[in-house]
Amino acid sequence: MQLIELKNVYKRYPNGVTALCDVNLNISKGEFVFVIGASGSGKSTLIKLLYRQERPTKGEVYVGGVNVAKLRNGKVYKLRRKLGIVFQDYKLLPKKTVFENVAFALEVYGLKKEEIRKKTLKAIEQVGLKDKTRSYPDELSGGEQQRVSIARAIVNNPKVLICDEPTGNLDPKTSMEIMKVIEAINEDLGTTIIMATHDEKIVNKMKKRVVIIENGMIAKDVMKGKYKNEGI
């Protein structure tokens, strides 16, 4: 069984816009997949289906064998405990330190304080911020803030890390630094990475699997693909 499966997925919004049309996609454990496409192509909708921010109008969406399209709202939290999600705008709590922002993701599970401390420090070290544990978000650069959000996303060892335009607010140099962090999570921890992005340079340099969405449909699905080349 694939870790993630989309079967004949359609998404039509109440305003009449069809964002996805008959999408079929399989992603195996440990893969690193870029989902790319122009604004309005449907890639963000596809990403949101995976963590049940949106439901498909038709079709099935499986994450870890669970049809998330049929999950009741009261059960969505169980799905999200198995996922890490990184957004473009960090979503950090401004009055909490780096340590507190990352630990907060574990506190809802009722873990013992010592276990929370160990897991939190490990995640912060994995993203290269062990000297910033007591800093507040407004004392950090944009790249450092995104590292904190990544640490928060991986602190519970998720099977899947979903990244929605994680470098959208960052300069090219910082973007590549963030991508190295995400690639290390994929290679060292075996975490499956699914990343929506507009960043052509990152996609071309990383040479991962590339799924191209055009007009709500999968136009290309290429191993070690590029944003633009003769094969795409």
Query: Domain segments of the chain: what residues?
Result: 92-157
Other Cβ atoms within 10 Å of 20 Cβ, number:
26
Q: What's the pTM value of the predicted model, to 2 decimals? A: 0.91
pLDDT given for residue 232 in this prediction:
43
pLDDT given for residue 59 in this prediction:
96
The pLDDT-based confidence of 228 (bands split at 50, 70, 90) is low
Give CA–CA dist 167/169, Å, rounded. Answer: 6
Cβ atoms of 35 and 46 within 8 Å: the answer is: yes
Of the candidates 219, 213, 210, 144, the residue with the CA atom closest to the CA atom of residue 181 = 144
H or E stretch covering 49: helix 43-50
pLDDT given for residue 156 in this prediction:
92
Q: What is the pLDDT of residues 178-226, one digit of tens each?
A: 999 999 999 999 999 999 998 888 999 999 999 999 999 999 999 877 7
Residue 168 burial by CB count (10 A; 0-12/13-18/19+): exposed, middle or buried? middle
Identity at 139, one-letter amino acid code = E
* 84 strand-pairing partners: 161
Give CA–CA dist 39/62, Å, rounded. Answer: 25
* 95 strand-pairing partners: none
pLDDT given for residue 227 in this prediction:
67
